[in-house]
Structure 1
C-alpha cells in the first residue's frame, strides 16, 4: 500500500471530532474565523462537544483546515458567550450550562422577540406569510423524521424570519448572541416526549396570529412559546445533572422564588 493510500485510509477511519455533515452545513462564504465560530458554536449546542470536555485545538484546526489564529478568535467569541472556558495554563474547555446565564438570555430574548412579533403583525406581507408557511412545512417534515439537528436550524430560521419582518436581521444578531447558553437547553429538550409536536403547535399559533395582523395575540402566542424553556430546564436538570454547573438546582429554586414574588 502506498504512503498516500495509507494516509487516506487512516484519515477516513479516524474518529472525527466535528462530524462531516456539520462542517458542510456551514458555508465557505464566511471568513475563516467566522466559519470556525459558527461550526464550534453549533458543535457545542448540538452536544457534539459536551460540557466539561477539553477542546483539542490542534485536531480541530486540522479538521476545519485553518490555522490556530482563526480558531483562537472563534474561541474568544465563544468565551464571551460563556460557551467555553479558556484557562491559559491548562487548556480550553467546553463550559457546563450555567442557569443564571440561561435565564439572562431568556430575558433578553423575550423582551426583544415580543416586540418583534408585535411589529411583525403590523408589517406582515404576502411574501412574509409565504416564507413562514414554507418554514413550517419543512419543520413538520423533519420533525416526522426526528431530525433534531435540522429542526433546530429551522426553529432558528423561524424566529429570524419573524425578527426580520418586525425590524431587521441586525436585531436577530443581538438575540442570537445573548441566547447562546439558552440554546443548549433548547436543543437538549428536543428529544423529550412530544416536545417537537408541542413546538410545532406553538409555532402554528404564532403564524396564525401574524396572519390575522393581531399584535396582541401574536405576542401572547410567542410568550407562551418562549416560556416553555422553564419546563424543559426542570426535566433536564433531573435527567442530565452532569451537564449543568453545580449550583443549577439552587439557581432554579431562586429563580422560581423571584418569579413568584416570594423573595
Structure 2
C-alpha cells in the first residue's frame, strides 16, 4: 500500500478548481487506497504541508468526508478514518446495479466505431499496469474504463453520480485487487463488456457487467474473513436481501 506521505506528494492540485473540492477528492482517494487506514488519525499539519493547502479548506473537506462516513470526528475534535461500513457498501452496490446496468445498455445502443480506440487503449493500459502489479494505477484505469461507458451513454451526469455514491463500495473493490489473479479477471471482464458495446449488443454488455458486479459479494466475504479489523460491526450478512 502507498504511504500517506507518498500519496499526497503525488497529488497535483489544479488552481482553477475549488481547493476544498480537490482536498476532499485527495483524502477520499487516500482512504480508498488504504494510504489512510481505518482508525488512523487525519494528520492536519502533514496533509496541509503535503498538499500546500490552507487549514480552513482542509477542515471543510473533512466535514464533507464525515457526512459521507469516510471519517469520524471524535468529541475532542480529532478526525479519524472510519471503518468500512458494510451497509454503505451494499447501498453503493445497489446504485451500481441499478444505474450502471442501465447506463451500459444505453452505451451499447449509442456506441460508435470512433470510440473503439479509446476502449482498446484503456484495455492496453490496464494490461501494462497489471504486468507491473501497480494496484494504484490499475484501480484508476478501472475507474477510467467505467467513466468511458458513462460518456458514450448520453447521460452526462452519470459518472458523477456513480462516483459520489459508490465510495464505500470502492474501498472493498480496491482491496480486492490484492487477491491472486484479480487483475487478469478484471481485464477479461472489461474485455467482454467492450465486445458487447462494440457489437451494440445491449444484453451481452449488461451480462458481462453483471458478472463483474456479482463478484463483489464473494470479495466482501473474503475480506471480512481476512481483515475483520477494517470493518465496522454489522452482524450476519444476507446478500439475498439486495439481490
TM-score, length-normalised on structure 1? 0.86
Aligned pair in 2 of structure 1 residues 24, 133: CA closer, same or farther (>3 Å)? same
1:39-92 residue CA offsets vs partner (Å, 9 max, x unmatched): 111110110100111111122112211111111121122122211112342410
Within 2, Cα distance between the matches of 1:185 and 1:169?
26
Q: Does 1:228 align with 2:215?
A: yes
Alignment counterpart, residue 35 of structure 1, candidates 17, 22, 27: 22
Q: Which residue of 2 aligns with 1:13?
A: none
Q: Which residue of 1 aligns with 2:205?
A: 218
Aligned counterparts, 1:40-79, within 5 A: 40-79=27-66
Q: Which residue of 1 aligns with 2:177?
A: 190
Q: Which residue of 1 aligns with 2:98?
A: 111
Q: Which residue of 2 aligns with 1:10?
A: none
Question: SS of the residue aligned with 2:10?
Answer: helix
Within 2, Cα distance between the matches of 1:89 and 1:216?
53
Question: SS of the residue aligned with 1:89?
Answer: coil
- More deviation in 41-50 or 71-80? 71-80
1:73-118 residue CA offsets vs partner (Å, 9 max, x unmatched): 2112212221111234241010000111000011011111101110
Alignment gaps of 5+ in structure 2? none
Q: Cα RMSD (Å) of the superposition?
A: 1.6
Within 2, Cα distance between the matches of 1:259 and 1:110?
10
Q: Does 1:258 align with 2:241?
A: yes
CA contact (8 A) 1:152 1:187 kept: yes
* Larger Rg belongs to: 1
Alignment gaps of 5+ in structure 1? 1-15
Q: Does 1:24 align with 2:21?
A: no
Aligned pair in 2 of structure 1 residues 198, 78: CA closer, same or farther (>3 Å)? same
Q: Which residue of 2 aligns with 1:157?
A: 144
Aligned residues: 240
Question: SS of the residue aligned with 1:82?
Answer: coil
Aligned pair in 2 of structure 1 residues 68, 88: CA closer, same or farther (>3 Å)? farther
Alignment counterpart, residue 121 of structure 2, candidates 134, 141, 144: 134
Shift >4 Å, 4+ stretches? none
Question: SS of the residue aligned with 1:93?
Answer: strand
Aligned pair in 2 of structure 1 residues 257, 83: CA closer, same or farther (>3 Å)? same
TM-score, length-normalised on structure 2? 0.93
Question: SS of the residue aligned with 2:122?
Answer: helix
Q: Which residue of 2 aligns with 1:148?
A: 135
Question: SS of the residue aligned with 1:135?
Answer: helix
